[in-house]
Amino acid sequence: MRRKFVAGNWKMHGLKAQLKEIESIAATATAKPGVDVAICVPFTLIAPAVAAVPGFAIGAQDVHESGSGAHTGCISAEMLKEAGATLVIVGHSERRADQHETSHDAWAKAAAARAAGLHVILCCGETEEERDAGETDRVVAAQIAEIPSDARGDWLTIAYEPRWAIGTGKTPTEAEIAATHGAIRAKVQELAGADAADTIRILYGGSMNPANAAAILALSDVDGGLVGGASLTAEKFVPIIEAAAG
Ligand code: PGA
């Protein structure tokens, strides 16, 4: 049985003044032991957030694939770990678009994070043109093709985020979400076996909000959510956590 997992992605939002939101969110999460909750913050907020809510899972939104070196502006998995992060997002579509990251890059980052003992949320998802062309399953399968054959849910989570649904207020239909999650799980099984398919959680992301969360989280093969805009305040994120807790 996979526990539900709800992760906030704060993107380039968050100064110390917003730590009070994390404190409220963490208080709810502690009161709902049936669901795993995390917030992935900007690098600068990792250590202050960990200090504010000890024991609550704080993550990052990117990591470099190398342990150290001449990579101006980048950050290593060990640095994230030392700051107190326990997880990291890799391969988010905004990084694929803005920093031209590939799926190969995302899996290299995942390997570096795993080696440092960080949990990984690896993102995949199609563009609107790809969906309209009936290419969703093919695109997503290609994005996860480099999953290691020994991957398991203790270090890896996959987030399915249709690019056209991120920050737009648009979502696929419930049937479409369930179908894509089922296709991802089947691909994980094909590539990494039944233990991987049974243990790796597949989150839905893209305009999840308090109004649609319960219905999406109830779909088969949806093990939680990766939430952007609606994770920035306790007012909006707490109802999503409560929906996941059932
Ligand atoms: P959104 O972002 O919830 O604001 O659509 C989700 C994400 O990009 O992870």
Q: What's the whole-number mean pLDDT along residues 155-184?
A: 98
Q: Which of 21, 101, 126, 161 is catalytic?
A: 161
184 pLDDT tier (thresholds 50, 70, 90) = very high
Task: Over range 67-76, report the average pLDDT.
Answer: 98
Helix %, strand %, coil % of the chain (to 5):
45, 15, 40
Task: Choose the catalytic residue: 92, 94, 119, 181.
Answer: 92
243: Cα within 13 Å, side-chain hemisphere: 22
Residue 161 to residue 163: CA distance in whole angstroms? 6
Looking at residue 3, what is its pLDDT? 97
From CA 12, how far away is CA 170, in angstroms rounded?
21
Whether 161 sits among the annotated catalytic residues: the reply is yes
User: Which pLDDT belongs to residue 69?
Assistant: 98
- Residue 1, pLDDT > 90, answer no
Q: Looking at ligand 1, which atom is closest to the CA of residue 226?
A: 9
Residue 32 and residue 243 in contact, taking contact as beta carbons nearer than 8 Å: no
Q: What percentage of the chain reaches a pLDDT higher than 90? A: 99
**pLDDT for the residue numbered 61:** 98
Which residues face 204 on adjacent strands? 160, 225
pLDDT in tens, 186-218: 999 999 999 999 999 999 999 999 999 999 999
Task: Identify the band that residue 100 occupies on the pLDDT scale cut at 50, 70 and 90.
Answer: very high
CA 7–ligand 1 middle distance (angstroms):
10
Q: DSSP for 6-48?
A: EEEE-TT---GGGHHHHHHHHHHHHH-TTEEEEEE--HHHHHH
On whether the CB atoms of residues 38 and 8 are closer than 8 A, the answer is yes
The boundaries of the domain holding residue 186 are: 4-245
Q: In this structure, what is the dihedral angle of CA atoms 171, 173, 178, 184, given to the nearest 10 degrees?
A: -50
* Number of domains comprising the chain: 1
pLDDT at 39: 98
For 177-185, what is the mean pLDDT? Answer: 98
Measure CA 238 to chain center: 17
Q: How far is the CA of 19 from the centre of ligand 1 (A)?
A: 20
Whether 226 is in the pocket of ligand 1, judged by its Cβ within 6 Å, is yes
**Residue with CA nearest ligand 1 atom 6:** 228
Q: Angle of helix 43-52 relative to helix 19-31, nearest 10 degrees? A: 50
- Ligand 1 centroid, distance to 183 Cα (angstroms): 21
Return d(Cα 37, Cα 230) in angstroms, integer.
14
pLDDT for residue 28? 94
Residue ID of nearest Cα to ligand 1 atom 3 = 228
The pTM (predicted TM-score) of the whole model is: 0.98
Query: Is residue 119 flagged as an active site residue?
Result: no
pLDDT at 160: 98
Please give the pLDDT value at position 245.
95
The CATH number of whichever domain residue 16 belongs to comes to: 3.20.20.70
Range 85-99 average pLDDT: 98
Whether residue 246 has pLDDT greater than 90: no
pLDDT, average across residues 224-239: 98
Q: 68 near 56, Cβ under 8 Å?
A: no
> Is there an atom of ligand 1 within 6 Å of 200 CB?
no
Is 9 a pocket residue for ligand 1 (Cβ < 6 Å)? yes
By percentage, how much of the chain surpasses pLDDT 70?
100
DSSP 153-185: TTTEEEEE--GGGTTTS----HHHHHHHHHHHH
